[in-house]
C-alpha cells in the first residue's frame, strides 16, 4: 500500500476541516471532490473572478456518486476575495488544513495586467498566510508554479536551481515562496509549496483568452475549428494530470516528516512532451472516439513572450520526502480528460 493509499484510508475514518481557496477553479474543485469522497469537512472560498459555480456543483455531484450518498452537508461555501483580509480571516476560522489555490494565473495576462496579478497573487497570498497563521492551522499548502524557474535552461528542473523570472506572474509566484520561507523562520509556521507543471484534467476551462493549451485544443478539434501552435511546435512541457496534483496536496498537508515542511516541490512526471506530439495525441484520441472528425494540420504562429522553451521537472524530492507516486502518465491522463470533455462539451 502506498503512502497516499494509507492516508486515504486514514482520512475516511478521521474527519478534519479543510479550507480550499479558489474552490470554484479547476484544481480547487478537484480537491473539493476528493476531500468530500474522503469524508472530510471542507470550507470553500472563491470570488468567482475566474472560477465557476458549475465546478463546485459538479464536484459535489461527482463525490455523491462515488460515495453513494449526499455529502454536501460537509461543504460550506464562502463567497469572498483573498484580496480582503477579513474574508481570509473568516474562512480560516476553525480550519485544520489550508490548500491555497486561489490566484490570477496566466503569463500573458500578467504581462498585459501586472497590477491585478500582483494584487491577487502577492497581496492575496500574504492575507491568506497571515490569516492561516493567526488561526493556528496545522499546515498551509500553496500553489506555487514552474514559472519560478525562469530562464534557467537546465533540465530536469531541480527545486533549488532557479533563474531570473520571465513574467510578472513568475515574479509573484516566486515572492510567494519567499514569504512562506520567512513565515517558517519567524513564526515557525508550517508551509509547503507545490510547483505545478502544466496540470490538466476535467473542469479545466477551454474558453477565454487565457485558456490552457490542452482544453483549448480539445474544444477546437471537437468544434472543427483551427488549432494554433505558438512557435514551431517543438516547445516541450511536463504535462501532469490533475489526480497527481490532488495526491501531492494531500500528501503535503498530512506529512509527519519534519524535514518535509518549509519546502517547495515539483508536481510533475519528469517527462517532456512537445506541442507537436501533444497535438497528435489529442487529435488521434478524439478521432478514435468521436465520429465525423478528420485529421487537420495546426496553424503555427509566433512564439509567445514570456514562455520558456522547454520544461521538465525532477520529482525526486517529492518522492523522497512526501512519498509522491504519480498515478497517471500523460497518455492515461489525456484519455481521462478527453472522455470528460467529450461528455461535457456535447
Catalytic residue ranges: 169
- Per the listing, cell 467529450 goes with 342
What are the distances in angstroms from CA 228 to CA 106, 198, 225, 336?
A: 17, 18, 10, 23
Measured over the CA atoms of residue 142, residue 143, residue 144 and residue 146, the dihedral's sign is positive
Distance from the Cα of residue 289 to its chain's centroid: 27
Cell numbers describing residue 192:
509547503
- Which residue in 205, 200, 203 sits closest to 239, CA to CA? 200
DSSP state letters, 258-320:
GGGSSEEEEES-S--EEHHHHHHHHHHHHHHHSTT------EEEPPPTT--SB--B--HHIII
CA atoms within 13 A on the CB side of 309: 7
- Per the listing, cell 500553496 goes with 142
Task: Report the C-alpha gap between 235 and 229 in whole angstroms.
Answer: 10
Amino acid at each position: 500500500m502506498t503512502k497516499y493509499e494509507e492516508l486515504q484510508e486514514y482520512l475516511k475514518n478521521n474527519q478534519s476541516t479543510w479550507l480550499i481557496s479558489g474552490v470554484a477553479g479547476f484544481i480547487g474543485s478537484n480537491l473539493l471532490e476528493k476531500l468530500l469522497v474522503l469524508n472530510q469537512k471542507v470550507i470553500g472560498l472563491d470570488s468567482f473572478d475566474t472560477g465557476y459555480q458549475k465546478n463546485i456543483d459538479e464536484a459535489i455531484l461527482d463525490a455523491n456518486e462515488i460515495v453513494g450518498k449526499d455529502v454536501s452537508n460537509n461543504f460550506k461555501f464562502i463567497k469572498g476575495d483573498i484580496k480582503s483580509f477579513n474574508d481570509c480571516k473568516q474562512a480560516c476560522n476553525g480550519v485544520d488544513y489550508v490548500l491555497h489555490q486561489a490566484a490570477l494565473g496566466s503569463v500573458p495576462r500578467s504581462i498585459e495586467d501586472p497590477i491585478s496579478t500582483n494584487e491577487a497573487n502577492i497581496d492575496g497570498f500574504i492575507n491568506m498566510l497571515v490569516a492561516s497563521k493567526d488561526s493556528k492551522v496545522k499546515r498551509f499548502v500553496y500553489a506555487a508554479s514552474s514559472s519560478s524557474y525562469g530562464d534557467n535552461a537546465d533540465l530536469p528542473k531541480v527545486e533549488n536551481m532557479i533563474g531570473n523570472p520571465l513574467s510578472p506572474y513568475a515574479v509573484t509566484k516566486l515572492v510567494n515562496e519567499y514569504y512562506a520561507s520567512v513565515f517558517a523562520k519567524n513564526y515557525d509556521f508550517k508551509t509547503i509549496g507545490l510547483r505545478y507543471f502544466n496540470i490538466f484534467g476535467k473542469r479545466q476551462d477551454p474558453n477565454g483568452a487565457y485558456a490552457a493549451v490542452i482544453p483549448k485544443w480539445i474544444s477546437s478539434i471537437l468544434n472543427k475549428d483551427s488549432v494554433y501552435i505558438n512557435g514551431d511546435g517543438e516547445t516541450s512541457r511536463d504535462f501532469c494530470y490533475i489526480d497527481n496534483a490532488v495526491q501531492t496536496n494531500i500528501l503535503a498537508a498530512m506529512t509527519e516528516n519534519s524535514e518535509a515542511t518549509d519546502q517547495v516541490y515539483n508536481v510533475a512526471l519528469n517527462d517532456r512532451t512537445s506541442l507537436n506530439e501533444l497535438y497528435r495525441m489529442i487529435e488521434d484520441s478524439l478521432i478514435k472516439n468521436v465520429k465525423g472528425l478528420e485529421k487537420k494540420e495546426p496553424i503555427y504562429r509566433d512564439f509567445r513572450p514570456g514562455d520558456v522553451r522547454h520544461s521538465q521537472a525532477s520529482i525526486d524530492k517529492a518522492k523522497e520526502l512526501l512519498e509522491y507516486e504519480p498515478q497517471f502518465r500523460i497518455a492515461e491522463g489525456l484519455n481521462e480528460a478527453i472522455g470528460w470533455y467529450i461528455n461535457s462539451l456535447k
